[in-house]
Structure 1
């Protein structure tokens, strides 16, 4: 488990497992579970706008321990 900062909003994010390395900054407020790392932009924007998640909903990637901003993949 690692704790990182979102490259968009600087919120702390707990990374429990690193699969493909794509993430979205967001946890559902009602369940405290992470949003789908491949959720489309329109859905991420809606969650952030409606304030149903903690975080900004924006994408980033971790590759070789380097955190970078990426597109909605």
Structure 2
């Protein structure tokens, strides 16, 4: 498990597994399940507007530099 800082809202984000390296900052309230990494912007906005997630719902990617995991802002893909 790794922890990075969201580049949008600066909250801490727990990273359990890295597949493609793309994430949406958010977990569902009640289950703490992470958002799907490729959700559309409209879907993320709806989750935020309906108060269904913790986190900002915005996209970021992770990179490893000198053995340290960093989050960087990216577009919805």
TM-score normalized by the length of structure 1: 0.92
Q: 1:30-62, CA deviations, whole angstroms, 9 ceiling, x for partnerless residues?
A: 211001011110000111111110001000001
Larger Rg: 2
Q: How many residues align?
A: 73
Structure 2 equivalent of residue 38 of structure 1: 38
Report SS of the residue matched to 2:44: helix
Unaligned stretches of 5+ in structure 1?
none
Alignment of 1:1-73 (within 5 A): 1-64=1-64, 65-73=69-77
Report SS of the residue matched to 1:62: strand
Larger CA deviation: 10-19 vs 53-62 = 10-19
CA RMSD in angstroms comes to: 1.0
**Equivalents in 2 of 1:62, 1:40: separation in Å?**
19
